[in-house]
Amino acid sequence: MGKLTQKEQQQSIEAFQSVIRKSENAFASMKSGSAQTKLLEKRLKAARIGESLLTARREGKELDVNQEELLEAKQILDGLLLMLPRFLEKTKPGSGQRTYI
């Protein structure tokens, strides 16, 4: 995982785990088949792949994901990263959403 410290690696994994939990909770309350549900499904899959990849790299293991799935996850996560600054501007200091972002 490059030049990250063990603590930074763990925080990154925990951030993905938090995103996954929150997304699963949101997904459970959404109407199935909607455009929002489909988008959340894609984001949830990308977050799971991201978390799995970070964990595998930290443990020196290979991840059993094909190239197409990795590229799709990367595109989705890259898109989310571009949106974070706008979301951050709208949140209050110390709020749960700010921590989540």
- For residue 44, what pLDDT is reported? 94
* Count of CA atoms in the C-beta half-sphere (13 A) of 79: 11
Cα-Cα-Cα-Cα torsion 25, 29, 31, 37, nearest 10 degrees, comes to -20
From CA 45, how far away is CA 27, in angstroms rounded? 12
Pick 81 or 49 by higher pLDDT: 49
**pLDDT (mean) for 41-45:** 93
> Is the pLDDT assigned to residue 1 strictly greater than 50?
no
Among 13-22, 71-80, 92-101, the range scoring the smallest mean pLDDT is: 92-101
Can you give the pTM of this predicted structure?
0.81
